[in-house]
Amino acid sequence: MSSLLKNYFGLIRRFIPKKEEGSSVGIDIGVSSCKIVELAREGDSFKVLHWAVQPVAGGDVEAAVRSLLNQVTSPVENVFTSVYGKGTLIRFIEMPRMNLEDLKASFAIEADKYFPFSQDQIYTDCFIIDPQGKSKKMRVMAAAVKKEMVGDRLKMFNALGYESDFIGLNAVALANTGSMLNCPDSDSEIVGILDVGETVSSFIVLMKGIPQFVRDISTGGRDLTKRIANAMALEFSEAERLKCNPGDRLSEIQGVCDSAFANLMQELRLSVDYFMNEHNQEINRLVLTGGASLMHGLAKHIESNLEIKVESWNPFEKLARADHLTAEELAQKSNRLAVALGLALYQYD
Q: Which domains does the chain have, with CATH numbers?
A: 1-181+315-349 (3.30.420.380), 182-313 (3.30.420.40)
| CA triple 246-249-252, angle to 5 deg | 110
Q: Is the predicted pLDDT of residue 214 greater than 90, yes or no?
A: yes
Higher-confidence position of 133 and 81:
81
CB 88 within 8 A of CB 216: yes
- 298-306 vs 250-279: helix axis angle to the nearest 10? 40
How many CB atoms within 10 Å of residue 324?
Answer: 8
Q: pLDDT tens-digit profile of 265-323? A: 899 999 999 999 999 999 999 999 988 887 777 888 899 889 999 998 899 988 999 99
Least confident stretch, 70-74, 257-261, 277-281, 320-324: 257-261
Q: What is the pLDDT of residues 225-246, one digit of tens each?
A: 888 898 889 998 888 888 878 8
Find the range with the poorest average confidence among 91-105, 125-139, 174-188, 301-315: 174-188
Give the separation between CA 24 and CA 40, rounded to whole angstroms.
6
Residue 147 vs residue 3, higher pLDDT: 147
Cα 215-112-126 angle, rounded to 5 deg: 55
pLDDT value for 287? 93
pLDDT at 7 over 70: no
Return mean pLDDT, the chain. Answer: 86
Higher pLDDT, 180 or 339: 339
CA 166 to chain centre: 15
Mean pLDDT across 32-49? 91
Report CA 123 to chain centroid distance, whole Å.
Answer: 19
- Average of pLDDT values for 185-202? 84
Predicted TM-score (pTM) of the model is 0.88
Average pLDDT (334-344) is: 94
